[in-house]
Amino acid sequence: MAGQKFAYNPHISVDCVVFGFDGELIKVLLIKRKQEGREVYALPGDLLGVKEDLDSAASRILSDLTGLTDIYLQQFKAFGELDRLSNPVDIEWLSKIREHPEERVVTIAYYSLIKIENLSLKPDSFAEQVLWQPIEQPRPLAFDHNRIANTAWQKLKEKVQNEPLVAFSLLPKRFTLTQLQGLYESIVGTKLDKRNFRKRVQAKKFVVPLQEYESGVAHKPAQYYQFDESIYRTEFEKGPWFLF
């Protein structure tokens, strides 16, 4: 970076599984690659720079793609199977862009949570290159990217159990309790009881109500809430511990 030639480590890459929530569905950001008329979809990723941190590489990939910095990033697994490249279409693709396409590359995978709204401002050209794919409707991806995306989804679900903090990275700065509940329902995969949900949320001091309400909706307007990270942190330092 910084203008000079950027040297890559030929055996290590970083891939990112970017999650977003549009108010209804959880989606994954894919990039489109045109190859002989066909479209192939893949996770955003790149080789690791020789003088580059793993975390920096993940940030670089995401900010190149979305223009966003300062987003939630979590490394979750390295994938190094010898047969990561089994599909002939992938091999053909690599032979165009890599010096040693046959060599095994170990990829360090990250998942990332972004507020989908922040992205809607991007230029149209952006919409040509990328796609938000709902997590429950997977589509075939390049390399072992389906496996990586599925693992990311599992890990995210586990994470939310222990650190519900992360869920808020998927919501806009201010949100309604209905949105929050919808997000949780997407993650746990079941419907939750509205009253019990709200009771629990309101017991958590880090979800703070604002004196602002929806407008222009054809029903009673909902109150907005926001997440207070500092209250959250002090609450969770005295973290509980469950056995079984």
Partner DNA sequence: CAAAGATAGTGTATTAGTAACACTAAGACT
Partner DNA sequence: AGTCTTAGTGTTACTAATACACTATCTTTG
Judged by the rule CB under 7 A, the positions of this chain that interact with DNA are 176-178, 193-196, 198-200, 213, 215-223, 242
At closest approach, how far in Å is the CB of 226 from a copy of itself? 17
Question: Is residue 152 packed enough to be buried (19+ CB in 10 Å), middle (13-18) or exposed (0-12)?
Answer: buried
CA distances in angstroms from 38 to 34, 84, 85, 220, listed in the order given: 6, 21, 18, 48
Q: Is 242 near a copy of itself (CB under 8 A)?
A: yes
Query: ∠ at Cα 73 (69, 77), nearest 5°?
Result: 145
Q: For residues 80 and 221, which CB has a smaller minimum distance to DNA in the complex?
A: 221
Please say which residue, 44 or 164, places its beta carbon nearer to a copy of itself.
Answer: 164
Binding mask 183-222 for a copy of itself (x = CB under 8 A): -x---x-x-x----x--x---x------------------
- Could you say whether residue 7 binds a copy of itself (CB under 8 A)? no
Strand-by-strand arrangement of the 174-175 sheet: 174-175, 223-227, 207-213
Question: Crossing angle of helices 194-203/177-188, nearest 10°?
Answer: 110
| Bridge partners (DSSP) listed for residue 38 | 35
Among a copy of itself, DNA, none, what does residue 219 contact (CB within 5–8 Å per kind)?
DNA
Residue 68 near residue 119 (C-beta atoms within 8 A)? yes
How far from 116 is each of 2, 23, 26, 141, 172, CA to CA, in Å?
29, 9, 10, 22, 8
CB of 183 to DNA, least distance (A): 13
Q: Which of 8, 72, 77, 87 binds a copy of itself (CB under 8 A)?
A: 77
- Decide if residue 72 touches a copy of itself (CB under 8 A): no
Residues at the site binding a copy of itself, with contacts judged by CB under 8 A: 9, 11-12, 48, 50-54, 75, 77-82, 103-104, 106, 108, 158, 161-162, 164, 184, 188, 190, 192, 197, 200, 204, 241-244
